[in-house]
Structure 1
Amino acid sequence: MKNLIFINGTMGAGKSAVSRELKKILAPSFFLDGDWCWDMEPFVPGAAERALVLSNIAFLLNSYLTFDGRGNVIFCWVMHKRAVVEDLLARLDLSGARFFLFTLDVSEAELTRRLSRDVERGLRDSGIVERSLARRREFDAFGEVVPADGISPAEAARAIASAVLSGGARFYERGAYVWSGR
Structure 2
Amino acid sequence: MDSMKVIILNGPMGVGKTTVGKYIAEATPGTAFIDGDWCLDLHPFIGNRETKTMAVDNILHMIGNYKKCSECKMIILVWLMDQAWVYDAIIEGIKKLKLEIKSVTLTCSKATLTDRWQNDKVCPWRTDNWLKISTDSLPYFAKLNNTLDTSNLSIKEVAEKIMAAD
**Bucket of the pairwise TM-score, normalised by the shorter protein:** 0.7 to 0.9
Between structures 1 and 2, the one with greater strand share: 1
Residue segments in structure 1 that go unaligned for 5+ positions in a row? 164-168, 170-182
SS at 1:73 equivalent: strand
Residue segments in structure 2 that go unaligned for 5+ positions in a row? none
SS at 1:139 equivalent: helix
Percent sequence identity over aligned pairs: 25
SS at 2:13 equivalent: coil
Return the alpha-carbon distance in structure 1 between the equivalents of residues 45 and 69 of structure 2.
32
RMSD of equivalent CA atoms: 1.8
Please list the CA deviations of residues 12-62 of structure 1 after superposition, one character each: whole Å capped at 9, or x if unmatched: 110000001111233211110111112222112223222211111111111
Between structures 1 and 2, the one with greater helix share: 2
* TM-score, length-scaled by structure 2: 0.87
Return the alpha-carbon distance in structure 2 between the equivalents of residues 75 and 10 of structure 1.
14
Please list the CA deviations of residues 61-110 of structure 1 after superposition, one character each: whole Å capped at 9, or x if unmatched: 11112322321111011123443221112233332x21100111101111
**1:115 partner letter:** W
What's 1:94 paired with? 97
> Would the alpha carbon gap of residues 86 and 156 (structure 1) be closer, same or farther in structure 2, given more than 3 Å must change?
same
Shift of 1:116: 2.4
Give the alignment of 1:14-163 within 5 angstroms: 14-92=16-94, 93-95=96-98, 97-118=99-120, 121=121, 123=123, 124-139=126-141, 141-163=143-165
> Would the alpha carbon gap of residues 19 and 157 (structure 1) be closer, same or farther in structure 2, given more than 3 Å must change?
same
- Worse-matched range after superposition: 47-56 or 139-148: 139-148
